[in-house]
Chains A and B, each alone.
Chain A
């Protein structure tokens, strides 16, 4: 009898595991959708966040015939970051504040299928540090209980989920409170059935946190802070086991004086990646607050950190702090791109590569956080002499540090970083990363200031200008595009750009790399050589990234236009003082001679082939 019982329970366990396994597969419909070139279902294109398309219809031979197929104005100005999503024959478009959403049919973009226009308090605009931008939407394919969803963040701090077919609200929760300076510009990232939401507001002393919600109903599953007690950080016994020298327990308070960690920054408003194999989510935390380093002695952990967290529990498996005790606002939120490559010993490794604001491109083993390489994005980086791979510590050059009662000069990179929020790409065949880079240096002097919740808490005056390879008289030559190998550390090619390449890149198997520029072009370069093969003059500058998809046999490239973001604040808010806009106004004083504000999407194809090849499409007819 006992044996029978045991067999029965064993059978039960087997059945349960089969059910669980199939359940996991069902949840990964999103992963499956991302593998079709008909779709662009998430920021990053796929869980690996490589922005690589296998499409070859548009290639180095014919890219010269790329022409606009159709376009759409969002009806709003200010910076248009991120990119539309493409799924199920529809394009989903998002905007700057007040964060409207539009759904269009790829077959006939004439009529807007649905639109969501949130009502938000205008005062939320006043606490946005760097223009009223938003980095995009997330899509979830639905299940038998819930319709497919479009999930979006609003500047005021709420997160809403809309029925992807109708635009109707399914749920809406409060993640951040603009009244304490906490806003949302980050794109939601959906992995399996979790929505991950970052945070913004380190310039107003906001202590950063990452939150996971159940995509079906908005229920909070976990919340992990960037500073404070280990219980708030979700740091357990397994944290940094493979690399104890990175630091382990107690450092979220021990590397601060007193309660300063409570207003310590570390918000994460950049991009994430996910590996279903490790079940870890990868992202970087931002800068500590305030910018005045003298007001926060200590390493200020765990700001400026590359985290690997379990998707289901939020528990941190590893955390590597790139910039201990930041003195330059090198907010460590930049893009994470996953790859599998052989290291210098010939060992195949699962990697993540991350070009940081601080001028270093980091490559870590994404299973345990071990450093594989840390190379300068440009040889003009001077605040760190190098990164010691063994200790993981950056060796600082004290000459380029900042401190009270001192005007530091010629620091490279500037606070805008040698890389900012742009979402770059990785070609797995060529094993090359295509990075949009900034070439901006700065002078910096801090000042004392009090903290008042809801008010700016920066405490530094900056002047920014082109780096050594740019033109410091004309204020041009503020950007670069480079092709980089993370194992050898070598750049296959490097090209200068007039302005910072702010929006990121996309690579294709057609041997092309596409990107937009602040002076209003979409460009295509040969991904082997960097040769400029094609460009088109858009209505306004670009701070988002291009996407590539196919629809009914034709390959399309789409991109948001609408200049803004941090580099555009002078132009957007009509500022003249070169130190205004946290120092960006001076650096980008030439931008207004090349572009003005805009807001919309342009879609390109070979010879402009598209839905309106038949001019009768979308025409009014009496019956």
Chain B
């Protein structure tokens, strides 16, 4: 009886183990609607501080928005001048104040 019980537990463990190990990310287990990512077996939930930490430089990743902001400002000057004068001047340094 004891043996049978033991065998049963072993059988359960053997059956469950591969399921646990094979619980690879298949995209179907969601934390919230639209948020279903899971780390793959052996990979961390957060990469910061791990060997996969991208260590992004905040100065580098701020460059795109800075560039867009200045393009928008230059475009606004060009459009305002065009609306006022009917002439398009691309070079903002040549737009009269």
**Which chain A residues have a beta carbon within 8 Å of chain B's beta carbons?**
169-175, 177, 179-180, 182, 206-207, 209, 217-220, 244-248, 251, 254-255, 257-260, 262-263, 294-295, 297-299, 301, 321, 324-325, 388, 391, 393-398, 401, 403-404, 448, 450-453
| CB nearest to B45 among chain A residues | A297
**Pair B75/A297 contact, Cβ less than 8 Å:** no
Q: A262-B64, A299-B34, A451-B61 are in contact. Are A401 and B25 (CB under 8 A)?
A: yes
CB-CB under 8 A from A248, the residues of chain B are 33-34
CB-CB under 8 A from B93, the residues of chain A are none
Q: Looking at the complex, which one of A170, A177, A220, A294 makes contact with B47 (CB distance below 8 Å)?
A: A294
Q: A260-B54, A398-B40, A403-B43 are in contact. Are A321 and B34 (CB under 8 A)?
A: yes
With the chains together, A255 CA to B26 CA distance in Å? 16
Contacts of B28-52 to chain A: CB distance below 8 A = 28, 30, 32-37, 39-40, 43, 45-48, 52
Of A321, A450, A453, chain B has the most CB atoms within 10 Å of the CB of A453
With the chains together, A248 CA to B88 CA distance in Å? 41
With the chains together, A260 CA to B56 CA distance in Å? 8
Distance between B92 CB and nearest chain A CB, rounded to angstroms: 10
With the chains together, A388 CA to B36 CA distance in Å? 14
**Pair A171/B45 contact, Cβ less than 8 Å:** no
What are 14 A-B contacts defined by CB distance under 8 Å?
A171-B78, A175-B71, A180-B63, A245-B33, A257-B47, A257-B48, A262-B61, A298-B35, A394-B27, A395-B26, A398-B25, A401-B40, A448-B54, A450-B54
Contacts of B43-97 to chain A: CB distance below 8 A = 43, 45-48, 52, 54-58, 60-65, 67-68, 71-72, 74-76, 78-79, 82-83, 88, 90
| CB nearest to A449 among chain B residues | B54
Distance between A574 CB and nearest chain B CB, rounded to angstroms: 32
CB-CB under 8 A from A218, the residues of chain B are 75, 78-79, 82
Q: Looking at the complex, which one of B27, B46, B54, B88 makes contact with A451 (CB distance below 8 Å)?
A: B54
With the chains together, A527 CA to B19 CA distance in Å? 49
**Pair A395/B27 contact, Cβ less than 8 Å:** yes
Q: Looking at the complex, which one of B35, B36, B43 makes contact with A294 (CB distance below 8 Å)?
A: B43
With the chains together, A177 CA to B72 CA distance in Å? 11
Q: Does B24 contact A (CB under 8 A)?
A: yes
**Pair B34/A246 contact, Cβ less than 8 Å:** yes
**Which chain B residues have a beta carbon within 8 Å of chain A's beta carbons?**
24-28, 30, 32-37, 39-40, 43, 45-48, 52, 54-58, 60-65, 67-68, 71-72, 74-76, 78-79, 82-83, 88, 90
CB-CB under 8 A from B83, the residues of chain A are 217, 219
A-B residue pairs, 5 tightest by C-beta: A247-B34, A398-B24, A453-B63, A174-B71, A177-B67
CB-CB under 8 A from B67, the residues of chain A are 177, 179-180, 182
CB-CB under 8 A from A257, the residues of chain B are 46-48
Of B45, B63, B83, chain A has the most CB atoms within 10 Å of the CB of B63
Instruction: Summarize B's interface: helix, strand, loop or mixed.
Output: loop
| CB nearest to A177 among chain B residues | B67
With the chains together, A564 CA to B54 CA distance in Å? 34
Q: Looking at the complex, which one of A179, A182, A395 makes contact with B28 (CB distance below 8 Å)?
A: A395
With the chains together, A324 CA to B29 CA distance in Å? 12
| CB nearest to B82 among chain A residues | A217
| CB nearest to A204 among chain B residues | B64
With the chains together, A295 CA to B47 CA distance in Å? 7
Of A209, A255, A397, chain B has the most CB atoms within 10 Å of the CB of A255
CB-CB under 8 A from B68, the residues of chain A are 177, 209
CB-CB under 8 A from A451, the residues of chain B are 54, 56-57, 60-61
CB-CB under 8 A from B40, the residues of chain A are 398, 401, 403
CB-CB under 8 A from B37, the residues of chain A are 255, 297-299, 324-325
CB-CB under 8 A from A172, the residues of chain B are 78, 88, 90
Distance between A547 CB and nearest chain B CB, rounded to angstroms: 31
CB-CB under 8 A from B61, the residues of chain A are 259, 262-263, 451, 453
| CB nearest to A214 among chain B residues | B79
**Pair A174/B75 contact, Cβ less than 8 Å:** yes
Distance between B28 CB and nearest chain A CB, rounded to angstroms: 6
With the chains together, A294 CA to B61 CA distance in Å? 18
| CB nearest to A161 among chain B residues | B88
With the chains together, A391 CA to B48 CA distance in Å? 31
**Pair A255/B35 contact, Cβ less than 8 Å:** yes
CB-CB under 8 A from A179, the residues of chain B are 67
CB-CB under 8 A from B30, the residues of chain A are 391, 393
| CB nearest to A290 among chain B residues | B54
With the chains together, A173 CA to B92 CA distance in Å? 11
**Pair B72/A324 contact, Cβ less than 8 Å:** no
With the chains together, A16 CA to B7 CA distance in Å? 85
With the chains together, A536 CA to B30 CA distance in Å? 52
With the chains together, A181 CA to B76 CA distance in Å? 23
Distance between B84 CB and nearest chain A CB, rounded to angstroms: 11
